[in-house]
Amino acid sequence: MQIDRRLLIHFDWILVGFVLAIASIGILNLYSATTKIEISGTPLYLKQIFWVLIGLAIMVTIAFIEYRFYSDVGYIAYSIALFLLIVVLGYGMITSGAQRWVKIGSLSFQPSEFVKIALIMALAKYFHRPPDRKGYSLKQLGLPFILLLFPMGLILKQPDLGTAIILLLVFFSILIFVKIRWSSLLAIVLPGAAVVPLLWRFLKEYQKKRIITFFNPDLDPLGAGYHLIQSKIAVGSGGILGKGFMKGTQSKLGFLPEQQTDFIFSALGEEWGLIGSLFVISLYFALILWGLRIAVQAKDRYSAILAFGVVAMLFWHVFINIGMVLGMMPVVGIPLPLLSYGGSFIISTLIGVGLLLNVSMRRYLF
């Protein structure tokens, strides 16, 4: 493929700069948070560097393929992701009570991570046909709903409440972005809210417990509530200036379970205090606003929706994860982009950034 010289001129260094800054802080933070944990094999931060490098390579590759190609293969990619999800349910390895992993050779990955991207691609393709003056009607939302519900059902069955919630939020964000009629939105949301008590019955015991303990952490100070109390102590004890790099005690002494994944932000808050936390949060804020600008300035509907979907995904991950660590939201397993440890998640995040770059580079073309 001939690479257009103009592409290189318009390469979005600012976006890449934000991503590299967050990822570097992430690796540093992971190094500090996990040094005391005895885990056999390669240290986690080294693995994370490895994943970030692979992810960056994939990101650049994705950025340079014309996005029309993604539009063409949108539904195929979606079907493959869905198929992998089914494989997970059937043959997936079982880790910590849930079937989330597929193993190919010596590599294991979580298909649910890639379903997020696949769903965004499929929805962008569907909504690239414009609505009439008033916006999309209920009738036109049938297929998008099917596109959402299949993977969501499969992911809930794993059970992975966090990823399912992300899918749902990204889906509704896109609906609002592409403009659906207010009446249609109400027609979906109201009955949906009525169904929530029904859905409660389908939640696993541990999921119910987490939601109950969110509203009353003292109910279960040893189990699910324990995360909340400890995480709040960790962040709060950082104060304004933090305890300093490698000086955190809460996270190092093993008070925090899953500190390297979902609760990584508490280690950051403990060691870097309000100053450090604010800095990282500002980076996320800038990244997300920058992404939103890319989406709005895109040259066509498809790329705009694609870019917006990625922005929505990043936003909800950041907002829910930090909200959870700070005890503003129930504990649902949602990792923090570029800060949490996890190969599949790093790569899916960087695929998303690759799509953003892609759209950003081409807004002056055609």
Identify residues 230-259 at the interface with another protein (CB under 8 A). 230, 232-240, 249-250, 253-255
Q: Within the chain, what is the greatest distance between any pair of CA atoms?
A: 62
Window contacting another protein (CB under 8 A); options: 2-10, 26-34, 53-61, 213-221: 213-221
Alpha-carbon distance of 130 to 305, in angstroms, equals: 11
CB 300 to another protein: min, Å: 4
Tell me: does residue 73 bind another protein (CB under 8 A): no
Residue with tokens 């190609």: 69
Contact 161/207 with Cβ under 8 angstroms? yes
Give the residue with the Cβ less far from another protein, 133 or 194: 133
Give the residue with the Cβ less far from another protein, 54 or 99: 99
CB 97 to another protein: min, Å: 5
- In sequence order, what are the residues at sequence separation of 6 or more whose Cβ sits closer than 8 angstroms to the Cβ of residue 341? 30, 34, 44, 47, 48, 260, 261, 264
Question: For another protein, which residue of 176, 189, 246, 365 counts as binding (CB under 8 A)?
Answer: 176
* Alpha carbons within 13 A on the beta-carbon side of 111: 28
Alpha-carbon distance of 102 to 91, in angstroms, equals: 8
Provide the strand spans (E) within the chain: 93-95, 98-104, 107-109
The single-letter code of the amino acid at 31 is Y
Window contacting another protein (CB under 8 A); options: 44-52, 65-73, 161-169, 337-345: 65-73
| Contacts to another protein from residues 98-157, by CB under 8 A | 128-131, 135
| Contacts to another protein from residues 277-336, by CB under 8 A | 277-278, 281, 284-285, 288-289, 292, 295-296, 298-304, 308, 315, 319, 322-323, 326-328
Dihedral of the alpha carbons of 342, 347, 279, 215, in degrees to the nearest 10: -50
Q: How far is CA 325 from CA 262, 263, 276, 332, in A?
A: 8, 6, 15, 10
The residues facing 95 across adjacent strands are 98
Helix (H) or strand (E) holding 31: helix 13-34
Give the residue with the Cβ less far from another protein, 40 or 105: 40
| Contacts to another protein from residues 5-64, by CB under 8 A | 38
Tell me: does residue 68 bind another protein (CB under 8 A): yes
Give the residue with the Cβ less far from another protein, 101 or 285: 285
CB 299 to another protein: min, Å: 7
Tell me: does residue 97 bind another protein (CB under 8 A): yes
Tell me: does residue 211 bind another protein (CB under 8 A): no
Q: Kindly state the number of chain residues that form the binding site for another protein, as judged by CB under 8 A.
A: 73
